[in-house]
Structures are given as C-alpha cells and as structure tokens.
Structure 1
Amino acid sequence: MTDAEPLIASLTAAVDARPEDLPLRLHLAGLLLDAGRGGEAIAHLGQALTRDPGHTGAQALMQRALGVPPTGGPAPGGEGTTGGGAPTPTGSPDSPPDPLAAYERELADVVPPRFVRSGDEPEPVTGDADRAYDVETSTVRLADVGGMEAVKERLELAFLGPLRNPELRRMYGKSLRGGLMLYGPPGCGKTFLARAVAGEMGAKFLSLSIVDVLDMWMGNSERNLHELFQAARRNAPCVLFLDEVDALGHKRSKVTSSSMRTVGNQLLAELDGMEGSNEGVFVLAATNTPWDVDAALRRPGRLDRMVLVLPPDAEARRAILEYHLRDRPIAGIDLRKVVAATEDFSGADLAHLCETAAEFAMADSVRRGEVRMIGQGDLDRALKEVRPSTRPWLATARNVAMFANEGGVYDDLVAYLKRRRLL
C-alpha cells in the first residue's frame, strides 16, 4: 500500500457523502491519477464534467487521464475563452477542437451526452411500430379455456358476436367499443381469458400494469397512460388489458396522494374517449378486489359490465390437471379422485399441485437410482401440502356480499356463495 492510499480512501468516503463538492472530487481524481488508477479517476472526472461541462480543471485532468495533448494557449480565465473572458463561438473556423466531444465518445458508456442532437431524435410512431409497448398477437382461443361457460357467453354478447356480424352490428347500432371488468379470486385465469378474447377476435393484445404507468416525475404518469391508450387505438381492433385495475383506479375517497388522483382522472378520460376515439378498442380489466375500485370506473360507457371469474368447476379442473400432466411420465393416476379433492383450487393451485407431485417423484428417483413414474401416491402426498389459495378471498367476498351489495352489484357472487352454502 502506498502512502497515498489512506488519503484516497478518506477522500472517497468524503466524496460519497458530498457528491456535489467538485473541488473535493477533482482533488481525489488527481491523487488517483498519481497512483496509476486512471479508470477510477476518469469515472470521477466524468461525473464532474456532467455537473459542470466548462470546468477547466476537470477538462485538464481528463486530458491527462486520456493522454490527450493540451490544446495550448488558454488564458487564465479558462480554456476556450478570449482575452476578455468571452467564450469562443463553438464551431468557428479559428476555434480549437472541442475536447468534450472526444470525452463524450470515450465515455459514452459511463457519462450521458450533454445534449441530444437533432439527428438522434426518434421518428414518429406510425402503424404497428410501437417501440415502448409490447403489442402482441395472441394465439390463445376461448376453446383453450377450460370451463367458464357463463363468462364466455357474456364475452360473446358484449363484443365477439358484434365483431363477427358487422351487418347486424350496423343494423342494431352496436358499437365496437366497450369495457368489461373481470373479478374473482387470484389465479383463476383472468389474464389467460383476456388473451383468449384477443385471439378469438384476431385482435392485437396490449397489457397494461401499474409499472407501465407510474413515474416519479409529475405529469409523466398521465402521459404514459395516454400513450398506452394511443398505442391500442393505433392497433385497433385491440384488446387493452388493465391488470390489477384497483391499483390505478382505487376509490378516490381513500386516495391521499394528489398524483394518484390525477392518474385516476386520466384513466376516466381515456375510457370516455375524450383523448381519442376508442372504436375498436375493447377494454378488459381484472381485479381481485372490485370493492376497492372507484365507482366512477363502473359507470355506463366505461367498465360498465362485471363478470365473476370463479375457481374452476370439476370439468375445468379435470382439463387443467390433464394439461399440466400431459408431458410428464405418469401411471396409475385416478383423475376423478384428484378432481373431487381439489374443490376451491384455482388454476394456479392445480399447476402447483402437479409440480409438487413431480418433485416428490423426482426426489424418490434420485434416492433409488432409477426413474419411476408419477403415481397417485405422489398426488395424494402433494394434496396434503398444497392448500387452495382462494379460501381467504372467499371469506372476504362473503362479508362484501352480506354487507356491501349496494344496487345488486355482487348478485352473481351472492348466488355462487349460496350455491356453495357459504352464505
């Protein structure tokens, strides 16, 4: 260790505590250069020049670090100035080459450029060429969705039927715009169903989540939301899927953040089509907690239809189990017994059940030193470990159905709970 090492360590800690102190940072960079640690010095000098691009001391040290010869002849007032202290016009025939241009090229991966040149500006987005958002073409169909007959019928009435029959649609004055909210326990296929709707109608699919919208800078969240809707409008017919819509459209009476209030208002404006025509844009929203969604989102013309997506029934559970076991080595499995033992299991729970049974069989194969099939015993053992994740949701939904069913909003939920004798 050289004599300068303790001082370098102390100055590094001081710079970390006071990153805006340029003289301190430049002193550290000089010591690093003297110690032969040019890479670290360049990183500090790059940060200094980002904060003050015209700092002559930082420029001189950067030239030294990069091995660039001095441009020569600067007045005491600093490089690039005339005798009176006025800056030499950039690009004039008699001016020396700008050393910062060379620095920017050398440090392009470390220090961002000071300005964006006009040649770097992106071309306007046209047609399907959306760079920022992943506009997909879904290959899933409603036939791939097990069960959910009532949900499929509601989707057929709301959008798929009018799309397939344009003459009848014009005769009855049915618009190709609309919104529908899917609600129910987690893991029951709401996202998969949205993709199936897009695939059924041959439409584009654009999924929106809270991370696509929220931004730390004021106004950017509203702009992001608008651009997402614009991408859907450009790609119409398009299914725009609002996942976890309660996060964006939470009850405004319970929202304390003014920025989240404006995001909610922007969402309402986009659904109304105030920022552009929503013809051909079918908005599907999903939430596990519809009672937390602002009532204004459920008014006519917005997400005015609600569909309960329930845990899969026996037929759907059988189809899901067959799907998740079809590519695995199985033998002697009684699917009827497994279906009967998995009431209240969501689709995700059933996938986890099959995964757990496969883990047991694989671990046993490793212990024995020979491969064996996944059997009924593995599934029985998995059933003792995997519990249905829908039961906490059903307990909360029961309270909502009993005490918060204003206007019959949750009549379908009440009917289901009564049928299951949970209410």
Structure 2
Amino acid sequence: MATRNILVLNCGSSSLKFALLSQAHSTPLLAGQAERLAGPQATLHWWQAANIRQRRELPGADHRAALQALLPLVEAACGGGLHGIGHRVVHGGEQFTQSCLIDARTLAAIRETVPLAPLHNPANLLGIETALALFPDLPQVAVFDTAFHQSMPEHAYRYAIPERFYREHGVRRYGFHGTSHRYVGRRAAEITGLSPGDSCWLSAHLGNGCSTCAIVDGQSRDTSMGLTPLEGLVMGTRSGDVDPNLHSHLARTLGWSLTEIDHLLNSESGLLGLSGLSNDMRNLEQERARGHRQATLAIEVFCYRLAKSLAALFCALPRLDGAIFTGGIGENSPLVRARTVAHMGLLGLVVDETANARCVGGVSGAINAPGHPRLLVIPTNEEQQIALDTLALLDSSAS
C-alpha cells in the first residue's frame, strides 16, 4: 500500500491549527496555525520538516480563506497526495463513543451537542463544513475529545441531581482531553512492555487546560473534567472545582450576572487569578525563583490540587502500573512534577531528581526513584492519534 498523508485540523472560533502527517515520517511534513481570523491581523504561520518557520499576512481572512491559502502548502508538502482529513471535535455527547467518518448524520449529531459545548463545537463544525466544501471528494473523520471517556461507569459519570436533568438535558460528566489520555496510555504500555489491554495508569494532561484520567486496560474509568472543561484541576485561567454556591454568592453579594461569573471562572481564575501575573507556568516559575509570594502560592495550589485528583482516581484502579505526566506543563516542568509527587508519598510515589530534571523539551522517560512505582513523562501527540484514527477508518471503509 502506498504511503498515505493525513491533514489534521483543529478549528477554533478565530483560529485554525493544522498538521500534515505522513506514514513515512515520524514528524509532520507541515504544521502551523492561522490566527486572528476574520480580523485585520489574520495571519498564517507554518513550519516544515526542516523547522523553517514562515508567515503570511491574511488581512480579513475567514476560515475558508485560511484553508484556501493553506491548500497549496499542503499539496506541495505531500506531492499532491492527500488521502484524508481528521478533525478534532471537542464534544461528542453520548452519541459518539469513538471516531467516525463524517456524513450528514454525523454533522447533525454534532450540531445537537452544541448546547453542551457552545464555545467549541460551533467552531469545530465551521472547520468541518469549510473543509467539506473545499475537499468534497476526500474522506473526512471526526475525532472527539469526549469519546474515550464514554467507557466510564455510570457511578463515575452521574451527578447527584434529579434523574430528569440527565435524561432530558444530558447533564452528566463527559470528560475531555480523551485523545491525549488515550495516546499516552497506549505509549506508556508500549514503553514498559505491557499490553495496553492489561495495564492500569493514572494520566495527568497539564497545559493551559488540565485534566487527570484513570485508564484501565485501555479504557477511561474516571476523569477530572465533567459536564464542561471547567470542572476539576486548577488550570491556566480556569478555576477548576469551586463551591457550586459560589455563583449564587457572587450574584447575591455583587449583583453579578451569570455571564460575568462564567467569565471570571473560565478566563480570569486559575494560575492567572491566583498569581495576579500570568497563566503561563514558565513565567510563574521564574517569579517563584525571585521570591514572588503569589506566584509561589499559585504553583503550590496547582500541585496540591493535582495530587488530590490523582490520589482520588486510585479508587478507579484495580492496581497501578504507573502515573503519566504529559502536556506542555507535564512534559516540561520538573518543579511541578516533583511538588505534586511530594504530596503523594503515602502512596509510595517518589521522584528521582536527576531523571526528573532530564525530562524536558520532548525528552520522555521514567522519573521514579528505583524501587518505587513508575512515574513516566510522555510527550502527547494528539495530531498523530487523530491521523491514526483517520487511517483506521479509511481502512475499515475500504474493506
């Protein structure tokens, strides 16, 4: 079979991230993003295998114009041989338990989930519809962040509220970052010589958005995010778990609207809110080293809450084969990993300082002290997982 090339698209409301992956190469042939779309400063950034970074101004360009500008770059990078497109879709509700080929029924079902992800799914749909218009004869696949977590048992995904809200309105825990957790869980099994179908992991995806997951035999058994990506850990600008009555308290005492409270908890909280400085862990670590009290506090809260979440997920595991750190922070912050594990000594987890310091900048490996449970740093690759899902569906549709 000839080498196949897959274009992976991740569409936001004003952005379009892309990666062109080939079965013949371990790194993308082309990757980048278009940002500030529909505005006067719209720009296309891209880099290729040689890591030569380029940019092109696209004043006023929308998603369709950005894809049209991208098309010649894709065709040149893959020699005109594009075989399919994989789309990241944030929310698949209960309809989608795995990735699927996109057709009219798939589009209708994604539209039905818009109330569950009003900030994300409309943008994902826009990217799909634009790509379908530009590539009408090319197979296209939807890969859902929530699909991996559809294996959670009911006692893990239900909220303790009246049944009718679940039955009539779909109010339950869905979880996100499923593509990343699935990828690193499988990689952890490969690295350690275990079977993905017979191994148990705790996974921490740590970036601007953060979540944990208990993975048993290749399936999600519980996760920290819920109905929305706001539930769970402290994140870059999201608060994570707060007292549910905080909404009514702020409305009653400050007269705030739901819109104002949602903006506070999603965009002004987390590391940014605690530190008063930044949502970027790199900046906070620099300020911590200078003795900045709020930056230090933000990091400590982040790590303590992460440790609490990982410890809680032990309930979902029959055994522990190891814990995984991934995502921008998980892959690049020895400090966060060490501070988090320090809270979990009662569970036998201990970091090897030398190994921990070595695992940055894409370097993977074990960071646990000898004789203690595995602690692994594994760079995630959601684009590759989306491409693999797309290829698998192309194969199954052809057979």
Do both proteins adopt the same fold according to a TM-score greater than 0.5, normalized to the shorter chain? no
Q: Larger Cα Rg: Structure 1 or Structure 2?
A: 1
Q: In proportion to residue count, which structure has more strand?
A: 2
Q: In proportion to residue count, which structure has more helix?
A: 1
